[in-house]
Protein backbone atom coordinates (compact mmCIF):
# COMPACT_ATOMS: atom_id res chain seq x y z
CA UNK A 1 0.00 0.00 0.00
CA UNK A 2 1.27 3.42 -0.87
CA UNK A 3 1.04 6.09 1.74
CA UNK A 4 -1.65 8.66 1.01
CA UNK A 5 -0.04 11.83 -0.26
CA UNK A 6 -1.75 15.19 -0.24
CA UNK A 7 -3.33 15.93 -3.61
CA UNK A 8 -2.09 19.52 -3.65
CA UNK A 9 1.62 18.90 -4.07
CA UNK A 10 3.87 21.89 -4.71
CA UNK A 11 4.12 21.03 -8.40
CA UNK A 12 0.33 20.89 -8.74
CA UNK A 13 -0.13 24.14 -6.90
CA UNK A 14 2.48 25.80 -9.13
CA UNK A 15 0.79 24.45 -12.25
CA UNK A 16 -2.57 25.77 -11.08
CA UNK A 17 -1.14 29.18 -10.20
CA UNK A 18 0.72 29.42 -13.51
CA UNK A 19 -2.39 28.43 -15.43
CA UNK A 20 -4.59 30.93 -13.63
CA UNK A 21 -2.07 33.76 -14.03
CA UNK A 22 -1.70 33.36 -17.79
CA UNK A 23 -5.34 32.43 -18.47
CA UNK A 24 -6.66 35.96 -19.23
CA UNK A 25 -3.80 36.75 -21.60
CA UNK A 26 -3.94 33.37 -23.27
CA UNK A 27 -7.70 33.49 -23.75
CA UNK A 28 -7.31 37.02 -25.11
CA UNK A 29 -4.70 35.98 -27.66
CA UNK A 30 -6.83 33.04 -28.77
CA UNK A 31 -10.00 35.11 -29.14
CA UNK A 32 -8.62 38.45 -30.37
CA UNK A 33 -5.49 37.40 -32.32
CA UNK A 34 -5.37 33.75 -33.39
CA UNK A 35 -9.06 33.16 -34.11
CA UNK A 36 -9.31 36.37 -36.17
CA UNK A 37 -6.14 35.36 -38.04
CA UNK A 38 -7.71 32.04 -38.97
CA UNK A 39 -10.94 33.83 -39.89
CA UNK A 40 -9.22 36.42 -42.06
CA UNK A 41 -7.69 33.58 -44.06
CA UNK A 42 -11.10 31.91 -44.35
CA UNK A 43 -12.72 35.20 -45.41
CA UNK A 44 -10.05 35.72 -48.06
CA UNK A 45 -11.40 32.62 -49.84
CA UNK A 46 -14.85 34.20 -50.13
CA UNK A 47 -16.62 36.87 -52.06
CA UNK A 48 -18.32 38.86 -49.37
CA UNK A 49 -20.34 41.96 -49.97
CA UNK A 50 -21.95 43.21 -46.79
CA UNK A 51 -24.32 45.62 -48.54
CA UNK A 52 -25.68 42.94 -50.87
CA UNK A 53 -25.50 40.41 -48.01
CA UNK A 54 -23.68 37.81 -50.10
CA UNK A 55 -21.06 35.41 -48.78
CA UNK A 56 -19.92 32.72 -51.17
CA UNK A 57 -16.88 30.49 -51.40
CA UNK A 58 -14.74 31.49 -54.35
CA UNK A 59 -11.51 29.67 -53.57
CA UNK A 60 -8.45 31.45 -54.83
CA UNK A 61 -10.45 34.03 -56.77
CA UNK A 62 -9.46 36.93 -54.50
CA UNK A 63 -5.80 35.99 -54.84
CA UNK A 64 -6.15 35.98 -58.63
CA UNK A 65 -7.82 39.38 -58.42
CA UNK A 66 -4.92 40.50 -56.29
CA UNK A 67 -2.45 39.66 -59.08
CA UNK A 68 -4.55 41.58 -61.60
CA UNK A 69 -5.30 44.55 -59.37
CA UNK A 70 -3.70 47.46 -61.19
CA UNK A 71 -3.81 49.49 -57.97
CA UNK A 72 -1.80 47.00 -55.97
CA UNK A 73 1.67 47.73 -57.45
CA UNK A 74 1.44 51.48 -56.67
CA UNK A 75 0.08 50.64 -53.21
CA UNK A 76 2.95 48.28 -52.45
CA UNK A 77 5.38 50.80 -53.90
CA UNK A 78 3.95 53.54 -51.69
CA UNK A 79 4.23 51.29 -48.63
CA UNK A 80 7.82 50.41 -49.51
CA UNK A 81 8.80 54.03 -50.14
CA UNK A 82 7.13 55.10 -46.91
CA UNK A 83 8.80 52.39 -44.84
CA UNK A 84 12.22 52.87 -46.43
CA UNK A 85 12.10 56.66 -46.18
CA UNK A 86 10.90 56.48 -42.62
CA UNK A 87 13.60 54.05 -41.50
CA UNK A 88 16.46 55.91 -43.15
CA UNK A 89 15.36 59.37 -42.05
CA UNK A 90 14.14 58.31 -38.61
CA UNK A 91 17.14 56.21 -37.63
CA UNK A 92 19.78 58.64 -38.85
CA UNK A 93 18.05 61.58 -37.16
CA UNK A 94 17.50 59.53 -33.99
CA UNK A 95 21.17 58.56 -33.89
CA UNK A 96 22.32 62.14 -34.50
CA UNK A 97 20.05 63.42 -31.73
CA UNK A 98 21.05 60.66 -29.34
CA UNK A 99 24.75 61.45 -29.82
CA UNK A 100 24.07 65.19 -29.38
CA UNK A 101 21.97 64.64 -26.26
CA UNK A 102 24.62 62.34 -24.81
CA UNK A 103 27.01 65.31 -24.46
CA UNK A 104 27.68 66.78 -21.06
CA UNK A 105 26.11 70.19 -21.51
CA UNK A 106 24.20 72.47 -19.18
CA UNK A 107 20.47 72.18 -19.74
CA UNK A 108 20.69 68.99 -21.80
CA UNK A 109 17.63 67.52 -20.03
CA UNK A 110 15.53 70.44 -21.26
CA UNK A 111 16.62 69.67 -24.82
CA UNK A 112 15.79 65.98 -24.33
CA UNK A 113 12.34 66.93 -23.09
CA UNK A 114 11.69 69.22 -26.06
CA UNK A 115 12.90 66.73 -28.68
CA UNK A 116 10.76 64.07 -27.05
CA UNK A 117 7.63 66.20 -26.66
CA UNK A 118 5.94 65.36 -30.03
CA UNK A 119 5.72 61.71 -28.89
CA UNK A 120 3.16 62.72 -26.28
CA UNK A 121 1.22 65.16 -28.49
CA UNK A 122 -1.74 63.13 -29.67
CA UNK A 123 -1.19 61.77 -33.16
CA UNK A 124 -4.20 63.23 -34.95
CA UNK A 125 -3.66 66.65 -33.32
CA UNK A 126 -0.05 66.64 -34.53
CA UNK A 127 -1.14 65.56 -38.00
CA UNK A 128 -3.80 68.26 -38.19
CA UNK A 129 -1.28 70.99 -37.35
CA UNK A 130 1.09 69.76 -40.02
CA UNK A 131 -1.78 69.61 -42.50
CA UNK A 132 -2.43 73.23 -41.63
CA UNK A 133 1.25 74.16 -42.02
CA UNK A 134 1.64 72.30 -45.34
CA UNK A 135 -1.26 73.97 -47.18
CA UNK A 136 -0.61 76.13 -50.22
CA UNK A 137 -1.07 79.26 -48.08
CA UNK A 138 0.09 77.60 -44.85
CA UNK A 139 2.85 78.43 -42.40
CA UNK A 140 5.70 76.63 -44.16
CA UNK A 141 5.12 78.41 -47.45
CA UNK A 142 4.72 81.63 -45.46
CA UNK A 143 8.21 81.20 -44.07
CA UNK A 144 9.56 80.23 -47.50
CA UNK A 145 7.94 83.33 -48.98
CA UNK A 146 9.90 85.47 -46.53
CA UNK A 147 13.00 83.94 -48.10
CA UNK A 148 11.60 84.72 -51.55
CA UNK A 149 10.66 81.13 -52.44
CA UNK A 150 7.22 80.20 -53.77
CA UNK A 151 6.49 76.86 -52.05
CA UNK A 152 4.40 74.12 -53.69
CA UNK A 153 1.07 72.79 -52.42
CA UNK A 154 2.92 70.06 -50.54
CA UNK A 155 0.12 67.57 -50.01
CA UNK A 156 -1.47 67.93 -53.44
CA UNK A 157 1.54 67.02 -55.60
CA UNK A 158 2.67 63.41 -56.03
CA UNK A 159 6.34 64.33 -55.75
CA UNK A 160 6.00 66.12 -52.41
CA UNK A 161 3.00 64.38 -50.79
CA UNK A 162 4.86 61.22 -49.81
CA UNK A 163 7.88 63.14 -48.60
CA UNK A 164 5.59 65.35 -46.49
CA UNK A 165 3.87 62.39 -44.86
CA UNK A 166 7.23 60.83 -44.04
CA UNK A 167 8.52 64.08 -42.53
CA UNK A 168 5.40 64.54 -40.40
CA UNK A 169 5.69 60.98 -39.12
CA UNK A 170 9.42 61.19 -38.42
CA UNK A 171 9.21 64.30 -36.27
CA UNK A 172 6.29 62.80 -34.36
CA UNK A 173 8.02 59.59 -33.35
CA UNK A 174 11.77 60.00 -33.70
CA UNK A 175 11.90 60.82 -29.98
CA UNK A 176 11.18 57.20 -29.09
CA UNK A 177 14.09 55.85 -31.10
CA UNK A 178 16.23 58.70 -29.84
CA UNK A 179 15.59 57.70 -26.22
CA UNK A 180 16.25 54.01 -26.88
CA UNK A 181 19.53 54.86 -28.62
CA UNK A 182 20.48 57.32 -25.88
CA UNK A 183 19.97 54.60 -23.26
CA UNK A 184 22.17 52.29 -25.34
CA UNK A 185 24.89 54.95 -25.72
CA UNK A 186 24.97 55.43 -21.98
CA UNK A 187 25.50 51.70 -21.56
CA UNK A 188 28.74 51.67 -23.57
CA UNK A 189 31.66 51.17 -21.13
CA UNK A 190 33.84 54.27 -20.76
CA UNK A 191 37.07 52.25 -20.68
CA UNK A 192 36.67 51.36 -24.34
CA UNK A 193 36.89 55.03 -25.35
CA UNK A 194 39.80 55.68 -23.01
CA UNK A 195 41.74 52.78 -24.47
CA UNK A 196 40.96 54.01 -27.98
CA UNK A 197 42.08 57.56 -27.13
CA UNK A 198 45.38 56.25 -25.83
CA UNK A 199 45.79 54.46 -29.16
CA UNK A 200 45.15 57.81 -30.85
CA UNK A 201 41.86 56.91 -32.54
CA UNK A 202 39.92 59.88 -33.93
CA UNK A 203 36.39 60.68 -32.70
CA UNK A 204 34.91 59.38 -35.97
CA UNK A 205 36.92 56.18 -35.74
CA UNK A 206 35.81 55.69 -32.14
CA UNK A 207 32.21 56.12 -33.27
CA UNK A 208 32.60 53.61 -36.13
CA UNK A 209 34.60 51.02 -34.25
CA UNK A 210 33.22 51.24 -30.72
CA UNK A 211 29.91 53.08 -30.53
CA UNK A 212 28.15 51.57 -33.56
CA UNK A 213 29.02 47.93 -32.80
CA UNK A 214 28.14 48.34 -29.12
CA UNK A 215 24.72 49.82 -29.83
CA UNK A 216 23.97 47.59 -32.83
CA UNK A 217 21.38 45.48 -30.94
CA UNK A 218 19.43 48.66 -30.19
CA UNK A 219 19.78 49.87 -33.78
CA UNK A 220 18.31 46.59 -34.93
CA UNK A 221 15.50 46.80 -32.37
CA UNK A 222 14.62 50.36 -33.36
CA UNK A 223 14.68 49.47 -37.05
CA UNK A 224 12.31 46.55 -36.44
CA UNK A 225 9.94 48.76 -34.46
CA UNK A 226 10.12 51.49 -37.12
CA UNK A 227 9.54 49.21 -40.13
CA UNK A 228 6.63 47.37 -38.56
CA UNK A 229 5.20 50.69 -37.37
CA UNK A 230 5.60 52.14 -40.88
CA UNK A 231 3.59 49.28 -42.37
CA UNK A 232 0.76 49.98 -39.92
CA UNK A 233 0.49 53.71 -40.62
CA UNK A 234 -3.07 54.80 -41.18
CA UNK A 235 -4.23 57.91 -39.30
CA UNK A 236 -1.62 60.21 -40.84
CA UNK A 237 -2.61 59.16 -44.36
CA UNK A 238 -6.33 59.41 -43.62
CA UNK A 239 -5.96 62.90 -42.17
CA UNK A 240 -3.31 64.39 -44.48
CA UNK A 241 -3.83 63.01 -47.99
CA UNK A 242 -6.59 60.34 -48.08
CA UNK A 243 -4.14 58.30 -50.12
CA UNK A 244 -3.78 60.92 -52.84
CA UNK A 245 -2.88 62.55 -55.07
CA UNK A 246 -3.59 59.56 -57.32
CA UNK A 247 -2.43 56.56 -55.30
CA UNK A 248 0.88 58.16 -54.40
CA UNK A 249 0.30 57.88 -50.64
CA UNK A 250 -2.14 54.95 -50.58
CA UNK A 251 -0.28 52.58 -48.28
CA UNK A 252 -1.42 49.01 -47.72
CA UNK A 253 -3.43 49.56 -44.53
CA UNK A 254 -5.20 52.56 -46.06
CA UNK A 255 -6.06 50.50 -49.17
CA UNK A 256 -7.26 47.66 -46.95
CA UNK A 257 -9.50 50.12 -45.10
CA UNK A 258 -10.87 51.59 -48.34
CA UNK A 259 -11.64 48.21 -49.91
CA UNK A 260 -13.24 46.81 -46.77
CA UNK A 261 -15.06 49.62 -45.09
CA UNK A 262 -15.65 52.09 -47.93
CA UNK A 263 -16.25 49.71 -50.85
CA UNK A 264 -17.60 46.94 -48.56
CA UNK A 265 -15.43 44.23 -50.15
CA UNK A 266 -14.72 42.25 -46.98
CA UNK A 267 -13.37 39.21 -48.83
CA UNK A 268 -10.89 41.20 -50.87
CA UNK A 269 -9.98 43.30 -47.83
CA UNK A 270 -9.16 40.07 -46.01
CA UNK A 271 -6.88 39.07 -48.87
CA UNK A 272 -5.05 42.38 -48.48
CA UNK A 273 -4.75 41.68 -44.74
CA UNK A 274 -3.08 38.36 -45.58
CA UNK A 275 -0.62 40.28 -47.80
CA UNK A 276 0.14 42.64 -44.90
CA UNK A 277 0.61 39.70 -42.56
CA UNK A 278 2.95 37.96 -45.01
CA UNK A 279 5.08 41.09 -45.41
CA UNK A 280 5.35 41.68 -41.66
CA UNK A 281 6.18 38.01 -41.04
CA UNK A 282 8.86 37.97 -43.76
CA UNK A 283 10.44 41.18 -42.51
CA UNK A 284 10.53 39.98 -38.93
CA UNK A 285 12.12 36.73 -40.05
CA UNK A 286 14.68 38.55 -42.20
CA UNK A 287 15.60 40.85 -39.35
CA UNK A 288 16.01 37.89 -37.05
CA UNK A 289 18.49 36.43 -39.51
CA UNK A 290 20.29 39.76 -39.76
CA UNK A 291 20.60 39.81 -36.01
CA UNK A 292 22.62 36.63 -36.13
CA UNK A 293 24.94 37.91 -38.85
CA UNK A 294 25.55 41.57 -38.18
CA UNK A 295 24.85 42.38 -34.60
CA UNK A 296 27.81 42.59 -32.32
CA UNK A 297 27.40 40.49 -29.19
CA UNK A 298 29.17 40.89 -25.92
CA UNK A 299 30.59 37.75 -24.39
CA UNK A 300 27.58 37.32 -22.12
Scan residues 114-143 and list those touching another protein (CB under 8 A): 114-126, 128-133, 137-139, 142-143
Nearest-angstrom CA–CA distance, 215 and 294: 12
* Contact present, 179 and 116 (Cβ < 8 Å): yes
CA-closest candidate to residue 126, choices 85, 185, 174, 198: 174
Pick 40 or 91: Cβ nearer another protein = 40
Does 146 interact with another protein (rule: CB under 8 A)? yes
Does 53 interact with another protein (rule: CB under 8 A)? no
CA-closest candidate to residue 62, choices 74, 53, 75, 49: 49
* CA 40 to chain CA centroid, nearest Å: 22
Does 228 interact with another protein (rule: CB under 8 A)? yes
Beta partners for residue 48, in sequence order? 55
Q: Which of residues 276-295 bind another protein (CB under 8 A)?
A: 276-277, 280-281, 284
Phi, psi of 49 (to 5 degrees): -110, 115
Pick 87 or 176: Cβ nearer another protein = 176
By CB under 8 A, name the one of 147, 148, 190, 200 that touches another protein: 190
Q: How far is the CB of 1 from another protein (least distance, A)?
A: 29
Pick 1 or 146: Cβ nearer another protein = 146
Count CB-CB contacts under 10 A for residue 209.
13
* Contact present, 41 and 274 (Cβ < 8 Å): yes
Pick 1 or 220: Cβ nearer another protein = 220
Q: How far is the CB of 207 from another protein (least distance, A)?
A: 7
Q: Which of residues 55-94 bind another protein (CB under 8 A)?
A: none
Nearest-angstrom CA–CA distance, 248 and 233: 14
Pick 6 or 24: Cβ nearer another protein = 24
Pick 75 or 179: Cβ nearer another protein = 179
Q: How far is the CB of 268 from another protein (least distance, A)?
A: 10
Half-sphere exposure of 41 (CA within 13 A, CB side): 7
Pick 154 or 266: Cβ nearer another protein = 266
Q: Following DSSP, what letter does each residue of 8-61 receive, concatenated? A: S-HHHHHHHHHHHHHHHHHHHHIIIIIHHHHHHHHHTTEEEETTTTEEEE-TTH
Q: How far is the CB of 125 from another protein (least distance, A)?
A: 4
Vertex 111, ends 163 and 171: CA angle to 5°?
15
Phi, psi of 48 (to 5 degrees): -135, 105
By CB under 8 A, name the one of 75, 94, 166, 182 that touches another protein: 182
Q: How far is the CB of 25 from another protein (least distance, A)?
A: 4
Does 239 interact with another protein (rule: CB under 8 A)? yes
Pick 81 or 210: Cβ nearer another protein = 210
* Contact present, 267 and 59 (Cβ < 8 Å): no
By CB under 8 A, name the one of 13, 205, 209, 297 that touches another protein: 13
Does 189 interact with another protein (rule: CB under 8 A)? no
By CB under 8 A, name the one of 58, 72, 193, 244 that touches another protein: 193
Amino acid sequence: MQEARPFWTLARREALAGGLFVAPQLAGVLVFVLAPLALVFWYSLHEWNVLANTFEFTGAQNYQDLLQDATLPPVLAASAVFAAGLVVFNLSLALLLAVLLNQKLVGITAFRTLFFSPVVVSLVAWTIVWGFLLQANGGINGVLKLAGIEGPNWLRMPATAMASVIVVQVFKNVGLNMILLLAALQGVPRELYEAARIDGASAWRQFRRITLPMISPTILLTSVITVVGALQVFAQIAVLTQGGPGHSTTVLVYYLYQQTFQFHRFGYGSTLAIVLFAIVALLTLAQWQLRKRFVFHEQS
